[in-house]
Amino acid sequence: MILFKWLHFFISFSTLSGLVFTYFKPDNLLSITAEELSRSSFSTYLIPILFVAVFMVVGNFITGWMIGKQKKSFGYLGFISGLSLLGWIVFHCYLIQAVYLVHILFFILGSFQSIIALWLAKVLKPVPFNSKSLA
């Protein structure tokens, strides 16, 4: 549980650092130029990073906080956070028509996040989503 909490905080703060880099250099994000967005509807990385920061920073931080408070619904929130990370990685790679090491690393982290969250949701069985509460 502690590692799961820190996984959420790591994703949250690493996304926040991406937001800070984008704020200072919206046309060149960690040597990835905005020219790679030429096939998309964005001219800089600022709008995509702001969008993902709201979901990744806030969502993962709230989930990590809920794990620390031992709230039972964090399994579902962790799963949603993991799926949103996976969805964003796929969407971003489609936009730039390339895959970088950071995409692979965060895809693996999002996969771990989703799998662990599903397992925890099954073990903790928070209401009202378990089968016994619906019967």
Helices of type H across 1-135 = 2-24, 46-53, 59-68, 74-96, 101-124, 131-134
Domain range for 80 is: 2-129
Q: Does 46 fall in a domain?
A: yes
Mean pLDDT of the region 78-92: 88
Tally of structural domains, the chain? 1
Residue 38, domain member (yes or no):
yes
- Measured distance CA(91)–CA(113) in Å, rounded: 18
- Please state the pTM of the whole predicted model: 0.76
Give domain status of residue 9, yes or no: yes
Q: Residue 86 — very low, low, confident or very high, per pLDDT cuts 50/70/90?
A: very high
What one-character DSSP code corresponds to residue 36?
Answer: G
Decide if 135 is inside a domain.
no
What DSSP designation does 29 have?
A: E
Residue 41 lies in a domain: yes
Q: How far apart are CA 84 and CA 80, in angstroms?
A: 6
